[in-house]
Copies of this chain bind each other. A is one copy, B any other.
Amino acid sequence: MKQRTMSTRTISPAVLDAGVVRKSVDTVLEDFLAECQEKSGQVQMTRIVELLAEFMMGGKRIRPVLTVLGWQAAGGEIGMESVVRVAASLEMFHAFALIHDDIMDDSDTRRGRPTVHRVLAGNCRNDRTERFGLGAAVLVGDLAFAWSDQLLHTSNLTPAQSSAVLSLIAEMRTEVMLGQYLDLRATGELTDDVDATLTVNRYKTAKYTIERPLHIGAALAGAGPRTMAACTAYALPLGEAFQLRDDLLGVYGDVQDTGKSRLDDLRAGKNTTLVALALSAGDPAQSARLRALVGDPVLDEAGAEEIRAIFAATGAREAVEHMIDDRYQQAVRALDSAPFTAEAITALKDLAITATRRKS
């Protein structure tokens, strides 16, 4: 596939900020999807590409931003177009992961819109349309996976970059899928094992969302083991804090900000750290109520309020806020000794605040 890099050619690291990264990544994605559509010549493909393009609108682009930051942190200066294309490839992979995640969780909404399997099932809900929606959404996810690879392979990487990046991407994929599997196994089987919830968090979020994108960006700049270790020291605590914030937003967030119902996680019976803490601190009556309510597929707002009251009474909500703060501090401290460029350190400090204090 012919590469289109014109749109990113004007970026230089000097003017780098998250907004610019988002815009450049979006341009790469739009151009790529337009090419996919053009090449296929199949009417049906148009529908899939449109769906995927709509789905990808409005994401936070945190992984692309971290990829570019990792590259900048490790002193990357030339070859920004390739970095942006690799970053776009990670965003396309993330679209795959989210589409399949929504199928597994049977979620109705994502980013304020119906999930892909719901859109494909159409307005007339019956067994046949639901099955079609499910199967077609599995496929749209698969296509996003295949296309993320295609973006990667058309990134004009040097052999050294390819070799470093491909093995990191292989690790990242296996890690996030293992994390997802652990999460799926834990869903609906509530446990007070806080460590187990943190292990899922580490694989599914901390490594996937923060550590690996930073590593991949740093590897593109030819980073050595010391820089990679510094990425990890910052990324893992921040990533855990990011997921803990996500857990809180799933229960306390404003649907206007988060774009998803604050009943979804509770109805699905997500065994978050918040739930595990409440179960381990609760008295037998509180634990019994939690076990009855969390995972109830028809839980209503009154039930959710009762759960929130138990989270407050057991101190679980406050404990999670403390855990977020501890991890935030740890991430920021790791930057003190990190062999990163000054601009990157400033940006990573800002990002640590956004990632842990966000509302969406």
Q: Give A residues with C-beta under 8 Å from B.
A: 1, 36, 40, 42, 44-45, 48, 100, 103-106, 128, 131-132, 134-136, 138-139, 142-143, 145-147, 149-150, 153, 159, 166-167, 170, 173-174, 177-178, 180-182, 184-185, 187-188
Contact = CB atoms under 8 A, between A and B. Distances in A.
A231 to B, nearest CB: 21
A174 B36 contact: yes
A283 to B, nearest CB: 28
What's the dominant secondary structure at chain A's contact region?
helix
A92 B235 CA distance: 32
A178 B44 contact: yes
A104 B135 contact: yes
Q: Which of A134, A177, A184, A188 has the most CB of B within 10 A?
A: A177
Contacts of A104: 134-135, 138-139
What is the count of identical protomers in the complex? Answer: 2
Given A45-B178, A149-B149, A170 B1 contact: yes
B170 A153 contact: yes
B159 A146 contact: no
A103 B128 CA distance: 14
Given A104-B135, A143-B174, A149-B170, 12 more contacts: A40-B174, A40-B178, A103-B138, A135-B184, A136-B181, A136-B185, A146-B177, A147-B174, A149-B149, A150-B170, A153-B167, A159-B159
Contact of A166 (B134, B153, B180): B153
A174 B166 CA distance: 21
Task: Across the A-B interface, give the 8 residue pairs with the lowest CB-CB distance, nearest first.
Answer: A104-B135, A146-B173, A150-B170, A153-B166, A143-B177, A135-B184, A139-B181, A142-B177
8 contacts: A40-B174, A44-B178, A132-B184, A136-B184, A138-B138, A142-B145, A149-B149, A150-B170
B139 A177 contact: yes
A146 B170 contact: yes
A36 B142 CA distance: 22
Contacts of A105: 135
Contacts of A146: 170, 173-174, 177
B1 A139 contact: no
Contacts of A45: 178
A267 to B, nearest CB: 12
A323 B174 CA distance: 44
Contacts of A100: 138-139, 142
Contacts of A150: 170
Contacts of A42: 178, 182
Nearest to A36: B174
A128 B187 CA distance: 10
Nearest to A103: B138
Nearest to A132: B184
A177 B188 CA distance: 32
Nearest to A297: B127
A136 B100 CA distance: 10
Given A142-B145, A170-B150, A182-B44, A135 B177 contact: no
A109 to B, nearest CB: 18
A125 to B, nearest CB: 15
Interface centre among A134, A139, A145, by most B CB within 10 Å? A139
A336 to B, nearest CB: 31
Nearest to A105: B135
